[in-house]
Amino acid sequence: MSAILQVQGVTKDFGGLRANDNISFSVEKGELLGLIGPNGAGKSTLFNCIAGVHPVTAGRIFFEGKEITNLKPHQVARLGLARTFQIFVASGDLSVLENIMVGSFLRTRSRKIARQKAEEILVFMELQEHVDQWVSELPVAAQKRVAMATALATQPRMLLLDEVAAGLNPTEIDQMMGLIRQIHDDRGITVVLIEHVMELVMNLSQRVIVLESGKIIAEGKPEAIKQNPEVIKAYLGERYVAKIAEAEGKA
């Protein structure tokens, strides 16, 4: 395997606040990577630096061997790297289908082709029943899927998912896990996900990186991360570890 994304010494300052502090890691092509850590650890800021939303203070970022440091978001997206946001803000005067078409227009100027691509993605994301609804009228789980569908319509080779399970109930979380697996396995898209729902991130991820106070404090397979004392202290907590041990004991 070869690296599709390389983050080299990325630092991001907001005035006197250092949100990311000399972060370096790579993501292999075809990998499904989890990025976890407490609130304020710098996870979303890192996504924003990678996707071009924020310019970096220091460091370099490469996607498929091409430097993308400080490119604009539309330039990064055109290269094949898409992201979702914690809060999806859809256009109020567009339907679900039309919102997904916005993503399709990154690759074509033809409304017919954009609609065809959006319709295919809409079916894949199981949004057929909502095709003509306003996104603001949808339940949270469906809104999350629209955000992912719009990103998928840009035809990415890598997808950054920012807390797509937040606010979902257990059944919806299971459904979201299935969709992410399909995106990764069936479409061959490299996925990096930020998540606080540990059931999802630990079950899906092939590797997990842990941020705390803007720095990487651990990196490894989910099984090792769950037992890492520094990660338990900084984020997971003893109750989570005990819960996992109990569940594994009943299995």
Please give the share of the chain, as a percent, with pLDDT higher than 90.
80
CATH number at residue 7: 3.40.50.300
d(C-alpha 152, C-alpha 146), whole Å: 10
Starting at the edge strand found earlier in the chain, the sheet holding 17-28 runs: 17-28, 3-14, 58-63, 66-67
Looking at residue 98, what is its pLDDT? 94
Q: pLDDT of 164-175, one tens digit each?
A: 999 999 999 999
Domain of 106 in residue numbering reads as 90-155
Shared-domain flag, residues 61 and 8: yes
Looking at residue 60, what is its pLDDT? 98
Angle between helices 96-104 and 111-124 (to 10 degrees): 120
Strand, coil or helix: 175: helix
Shared-domain flag, residues 103 and 215: no
Shared-domain flag, residues 239 and 123: no
Q: Is residue 25 assigned to a domain?
A: yes
pTM attached to this predicted model: 0.90
Q: pLDDT of 211-247, one tens digit each?
A: 999 999 999 999 999 889 889 887 877 666 666 656 5
At which of 121, 155, 189 does a domain end? Answer: 155
Q: Which residue type occupies 132?
A: D
Shared-domain flag, residues 141 and 51: no
Shared-domain flag, residues 150 and 161: no
Q: What is the mean pLDDT of each run of 10 residues along the chain (251 residues)?
A: 93 96 98 95 96 97 97 96 80 83 95 96 94 89 93 97 93 96 96 94 95 96 91 76 60 52
Looking at residue 241, what is its pLDDT? 61
Shared-domain flag, residues 170 and 50: yes
Q: Is residue 193 assigned to a domain?
A: yes
Query: Phi/psi of residue 136, each to 5°?
Result: -65, -20
Shared-domain flag, residues 75 and 165: yes
At which of 155, 182, 206 does a domain end? Answer: 155
d(C-alpha 128, C-alpha 119), whole Å: 9
Q: Is residue 208 assigned to a domain?
A: yes
Nearest one of 21, 63, 19 to 44, comparing CA atoms: 19
Shared-domain flag, residues 134 and 163: no
Q: Is residue 85 assigned to a domain?
A: no
Please give the share of the chain, as a percent, with pLDDT higher than 70.
92
Say if residue 137 is exposed, middle or buried (CB neighbours under 10 Å; 0-12, 13-18, 19+). Answer: exposed
Looking at residue 243, what is its pLDDT? 65
Q: Which residue type occupies 27?
A: V
Looking at residue 207, what is its pLDDT? 97
Looking at residue 2, what is its pLDDT? 87
Q: pLDDT of 60-83, one tens digit each?
A: 999 999 999 999 999 999 999 999
Shared-domain flag, residues 130 and 192: no
Shared-domain flag, residues 59 and 181: yes
Looking at residue 232, what is its pLDDT? 86
Looking at residue 136, what is its pLDDT? 84
At which of 133, 155, 177 does a domain end? Answer: 155
Shared-domain flag, residues 201 and 137: no
Q: How many domains does the chain have?
A: 2
Shared-domain flag, residues 7 and 130: no
Looking at residue 161, what is its pLDDT? 97
Q: Is residue 151 assigned to a domain?
A: yes
